Structure 1
Amino acid sequence: MTQNNSGTIRVLFVDDDEIYRENTVKALNANPRLEVVAKATSGEEALEIADNTDFDVMLLDVTMPGLDGIETLQRLNAVHPNCVVLMLTAFERPESLQQALSSGARGFLTKESTVGEIREACEKALRGEQVLGTEPLKRITDFYVKGTPEVDEEFMAKYHELSPRHQKVVVGLAKGLTNREIARLIGVTEASATTYIKEALSQMGTRRVQLAYKAAKSGLL
């Protein structure tokens, strides 16, 4: 895949719902920061296009007939491990969300997301950040909080080794707080909070989104 120097985010859009796909592609192309360079109606077609098309971010529907989004993601990562993929979700089970994250998805967006939210999510993903909308995060945390916690012993051991301030950061991240909200939570500037967040994630050995479901699963919330 060739490097993109245009300043425009090249998108490969994958969804089997024709009305949603065409309307969303039209809206994305109307944004000067986004360009849909290709679109696919199935996982199989997406994999074929990915082999022959330069793109920056794939927006991939979780639920599709035939090869679903998760299996498509797994096959894609086997061939193109550095691809940036954001999953599009409607009403998926929390287990599916967790499985996609474990398979290498950079995050999730609901299908109700605005063009601005999609653009911002793509920018974050390309910076190496994890992206998880409020509703997918709520589904994951509710699933584990309401159920019987299955404690991740390694995760909790690392958590207990953190300083009290870093522990607060981890809980804030698990609740889906923004950097600014975490700054207020621990009483520092946003710039300092960003440093604390990076340190906490590094010490926990996990990404921002994965931390959310590990914390919920372990009963930390």
Structure 2
Amino acid sequence: MRRRQGLAAALAALLGAWSGLARAGAQVEEPLADAVRTALSSAIANAAPPVPEFRDTASRLAYLRWLGEMSQRLRKRQPLWLDRKEFLQTVWYESRRAGLEPSLVLGLVQVESNFRKFAVSAVGARGYMQVMPFWSRLIGDGDAGRLFHMQTNLRFGCVILRHYLDRERGDLFMALGRYNGSRGRPEYPNAVLAARRNWEWRDVAGEAPAVPAGNAGQGI
């Protein structure tokens, strides 16, 4: 029994240490081709407000159901409804704008900053998505202080992760490693992918009712 308790304590300590390391991770500054720099700068500079638009009422209702469910899951970390709504709306907008799943971005935010807007790592990464200040110089206006602005931070983080995904030809494991500055190592990607499960959502309410097997093709 004591041996099991000791093992459990050791595992808890290891997980706690990894949790701190995850938030201390950092993207590595690498040379960017002019075309890539221009494309990333353009993606950051387009300061469209995070106002969701929908092609039809069903899509809007699906979004509202997602917002309600995610708000409940986030409530312990962000007690104020208006703060949760603004944050989730921005995550939804910026993740979809970058071609990412909102659940992936929320999982990454959980691991990187535990949803702390003003988090700063030991190596200087900032904000919700722990963006390194050099990105402001490479593709922004040079003002690293703006990385504490919610939409700016989420936009930078999503655009950077999209960039890494493209570099790794869609390999999410390797792209997450690049994001953390630990490419090829499993700890960080595994942590983010595990956290993503906390934010996955299936819109059961919006699905068409299943057709009973005996009535298939009978036009009911």
TM-score (norm 2): 0.26
Q: Name the one with the larger helix percent.
A: 2
Q: Name the one with the larger strand percent.
A: 1
TM-score (norm 1): 0.26
Higher RCO by CA contacts (8 Å cutoff, separation 6 or greater): 2
